[in-house]
Structure 1
Amino acid sequence: MARWSGSAALQAETAQLLGMAEEAVRQGQLGQALPMLSRALAFDPEGAAPAYAELLARLSLSGWPPQLEDDLVTCLHTASVDPQALARGAARMLLVKYPEPVVADDALWEAFLTRCINVDPAMERRLVWLAGQELPRALRTALAVQAFASEYVWGGEGLSIPPAVAAEIAEERTLAAAMPSLGDSGDQISRAVRDQYEASPYPRWRAPPVPQRVSVAAHLAALGAPQSEPLELLVAGCGTGFEPIDMARMDPSLRITALDLSAASLAYGQRMARERGVENLRFVQGDILDSDKLGGRFGMVSSTGVLHHMERPENGLSALAGVLKPGGVLRIALYSERARAWVSEAHDAIAAHGWDASPKGIRAFRAHVLALPAGTPLARLRESDDFYTLSGCRDLCFHVREHWYRLPAIGEMLTGAGLALLMLDAPPEAQARFAAMHGDADRRDLALWDRVEAAHPHLFAGMFHLWARRP
């Protein structure tokens, strides 16, 4: 009991320090915030690091505060923090610390290079410079890890693949060869999409934080769609496995099937699942159109960012509705036509220059975008994390098939598949815009949401996220 009381008191003091630090940051008093953050991190690294990391990601530095370095390294190595969320902030801090190119073998460089994938154009130029220098062994190894993680989108091919990375590649090849399969797809576009992700598994994630425990069944019950437990969940189009692994760790009671066209992507996810001791998850190679071959029915199906890459997304939606249990819930995410309008400019530029989806073509396109003046519409691509890996840039601008939507059309698709809309999971800004325009009107009315988006086309840049139920 004494240990529990001490821990509770420590947690309370940590929470108080974090609250005071956040208020200081809000008022622009960085000098006051940093000592509070450091003290909270020293008290409780796992508990304080997520809040500290969130504040660090928002900081704008004009000078280098030395006390940040140890804290940032701690956050980058703490299991409760997603290091990729700190990638931009860590890059900015390193460029402030070292405003001129210099070979600096320190803990922050090592943590950044091995825990993050760079997403900063100025840092990319620094990485290119570093790759041409004589480097200490540890720094060269860390830079090689970074180059491999970005799939050599900026160069670095001359850096030897570290033995640990080579072992991961070999393991993934073995796993891919033994991957359970529903058989080859009979759909031409599905085969083309499969080939894209076999060549470029996406996304290449690194070190996700340990999620907080949440009952998915309780969440569905709150939506008005209670399910029996243990809940059988299908993640359809799981890619490299981030979503199913995250959900499996978040709710160990789930029984998850992760389905994807690409055995290479699935092998990446299977290796990551093994490394994290995830056991309530199976991986299967196959087409969503063949999901009935899985031989079961699911209380929930999640398919985010997938259906819009099919030849006929409505057929994929119907296939997923068909494997739901009566009363089961479907979560989907689809591209917004308005929010993706700027991507059409990328497609036009790619067509005009004749760039193909090969590594050479993607690098040429990126060089064009990186050279554009700030404020140019296409320069917005530099703000996307996907722009900084070969597979990410290919998925962003060179995909073999892509459909964009407006909300009323999605509503018609759901109805056609025999599904009833539960909710549009809109971000806070969109919720506020809806309230300002429509007050307490029914938030399941997609026509009203369409008017909101027409007035504010950027609101759904992160896709439309919808929940629906099979009656």
Structure 2
Amino acid sequence: MSDSQAISQAVAKLYNTFPFPPDPLSDEAPPGYNWRWNWQTAYNFCTGRKPAREAVRILDAGCGTGSGTDYLIHLNPQAEVVAIDLSEKALEVAQERCRRSGVLEGREKPVQFLQMPLEEAVALPGEFDLINCVGVLHHLPNPVKGLQAIASKLAPGGLLHIFVYAELGRREIRLMQEAIALLQGDRRGDYTDGVKVGRHLFSALPQDNPIVKQDRERWSLENHRDEAFADMYVHPQEIDYNIETLFDLIETSGLTFLGFSNPQFWQLERLIGADAELMARSEHLGERDRYRLVELLDPSVAHYEFFLARPPLEISDWSDDEALRRAIPERSPCLEGWPSRNIFDFNYQIVSLSEAEFAFLEACAPERGASVGELLEATGLDLEGARSLQQRQLILLAC
């Protein structure tokens, strides 16, 4: 057996023992939304405009127990969805989750669940418009091979959404992982025993121990379930990245980096913007070095979440006033609390709308074909107000 095969078997054993994530099953559709798993809002985030079609193909590459799959099916009713995972037990939970939630009922497009290593995704028929790969690549024996496998299945103009671990914000986790492994000795690979050892360690260590403090302040709410504790502290395979190694990985995919899905974190201004001289010194830095400087100055980052694309992909910034006036607007499907002057936006941040903004959003009805310009005249909102709604992703614009 090769080392890669042994690692894959160890990872499968972990998730067959502790299927992850341990989110409870429900007899109702998943609550709220995650804009990254909605084709329309993800496409809008990446391109600045609404996609031309909703009947797309989506791959959930490493679906685990199906928490993300449930949303992908629910938020994309016109899409064909394929979910794959290495773990037989996790896949069983994923299918049961989606059956019980009701998201499979009445769908015209098929949903498939397949037990398959990520590296074998090349064998899947056809191409996909959206590929979701959350929390998987860093657990593979060869992340490059896994990334290249799913990248090969991305259609032209398609989006690949990825989540991988970052080393700086996981320092204490890695220390605890190694400590548990040392105490397990030849019982390493017995994941139930590993959880037991880890629980004992956290109970025995002083409360002011930095590993205990970090866990209490950042991770304890996640880790009260053994499945989550095992995934974090007893995993047999983990590769953590920094900005340099992350972009080295991305370059192997042959895809285009579109940006992080939390761009506010990566703004250098929030860290040193008060010092004009430091900001001036940073002006010579390229994008990659600016990202590296941010994570060095704020080492709390525990993961990277970002989008890649296969060209061609047209980007619209709506800087042209006439193009903006001609565009057809509609409300984002990821708004909570509508209709109200106080709503939650796509990132679940509270937004207080002006009277004119509310009137504009209320008037958005793409089936009527009213343009931005026509709605501006009807509601009293000015052009910059409409541009602000688009930039805040409260509306989607179609050319």
Q: CA deviation at 1:374?
A: 2.3
Q: How many residues were matched structurally? A: 285
Correspondence for 1:406: 242
Q: Which residue of 2 aligns with 1:266?
A: 91
Partner secondary structure for residue 353 of structure 1: helix
| Contact 1:434/1:449, CA 8 A, preserved across alignment | no
What does 1:316-465 align with in structure 2 at a 5 Å threshold? 316-354=146-184, 356=188, 357-379=190-212, 380-383=214-217, 384=219, 385-426=221-262, 428-431=264-267, 433=270, 436=273, 445-458=287-300, 460-461=301-302, 463-465=303-305
> Aligned Cα RMSD in Å?
2.8
- The answer (yes or no) to whether the contact 1:211–1:246 under 8 Å persists in 2 is no
1:192 and 2:28 equivalent? no
Select 1:223's aligned residue among 43, 46, 67. 46
Tell me, in whole angstroms, the C-alpha distance in 2 between the residues paired with 1:251 and 1:427: 24
Which structure is higher in RCO with an 8 Å CA cutoff and minimum separation 6? 2
Give the whole-Å Cα distance in 1 for the aligned partners of 2:128 and 2:31: 25
Deviation at 1:376, TM superposition (A): 0.8
CA distance in 1, matches of 2:10, 2:41: 38
1:406-464 Cα deviation digits (max 9, x unpaired)? 11222222222101100112264554636737599799923211111101100x22x10
Shift of 1:358: 3.2
Change (3 A) 1:315 1:201: same
Higher helix share: 1
Name structure 2 gaps, 5 residues minimum: 312-399
1:353-410 residue CA offsets vs partner (Å, 9 max, x unmatched) = 2363432332132122023222212202244234222221111011111001111222
Matched, 1:293 2:123: yes
Structure 1 residue matching 2:113: 3-state secondary structure: strand
- 1:106-146 CA-to-partner distances (Å, cap 9, x unmatched) read xxxxxxxxxxxxxxxxxxxxxxxxxxxxxxxxxxxxxxxxx
Q: Aligned residue for 1:466?
A: 306
Per-residue deviation at 1:337?
Answer: 1.2
Distance in 2 separating the partners of 1:293 and 1:368: 44
Residue of structure 2 equivalent to 1:71: none
Letter in 2 for 1:467: F
One-letter identity of the residue aligned with 1:381: D
Deviation sequence 1:30-81 (CA, Å, 0-9, x none):
xxxxxxxxxxxxxxxxxxxxxxxxxxxxxxxxxxxxxxxxxxxxxxxxxxxx
2:20 counterpart residue number: 202
**8 Å Cα contact 2:30-2:74 kept in structure 1:** no
Q: Residue 304 of structure 1: CA displacement?
A: 1.1
TM-score of the two chains, using structure 1 as the length reference = 0.56
Q: Which runs of 5+ in 1 are unaligned?
A: 1-185
1:239-264: CA deviations, max 9, x gaps?
Answer: 00000101221232222111100121
SS of equivalent to 1:339: helix
Alignment CA distance shift 1:352-1:188 (3 Å): closer
- C-alpha separation between the residues in 2 aligned to 1:434 and 1:258? 40
Distance 2:136 2:7 in 1: 13
Judge conservation of contact 1:205–1:242 (CA < 8 Å) in 2.
Answer: yes
Q: Answer whether contact 1:221 1:227 (CA < 8 A) is retained.
A: no
AA of the residue aligned to 2:306: L
For 1:354 and 1:372, locate their aligned partners in 2 and report how far apart those are by CA, in whole Å: 17
Q: Superposition pairs for residues 208-287 of structure 1, below 5 Å? A: 209-212=30-33, 216-224=39-47, 226=51, 228-279=53-104, 281-287=111-117
Greater per-residue strand proportion? 2
Alignment partners' CA distance in 1, 2:74 and 2:139: 28
Aligned AA for 1:455? L
Report what 1:75 is aligned to: none
SS of the aligned residue for 1:290 comes to helix
Contact 2:194/2:234, CA 8 A, preserved across alignment: no
Give how far 1:322 is off.
0.2
TM-score for the superposition, normalised by structure 2: 0.65
1:220 deviates by 0.7
Amino acid at match of 1:470: R
Q: Are residues 320 and 435 of structure 1, via their aligned partners in 2, closer, same or farther at CA, if it must alter by over 3 Å?
A: farther
The residue correspondences of 1:163-178 to structure 2 (distance < 5 A) are none
Change (3 A) 1:429 1:224: closer
Cα separation, 2, equivalents of 1:256 and 1:442: 44
The DSSP-based 3-state class of the residue aligned with 2:307 is strand
Matched-pair identity in %: 27
**Structure 1 pair 231–295 and aligned structure 2 pair: CA distance change class (3 A):** same
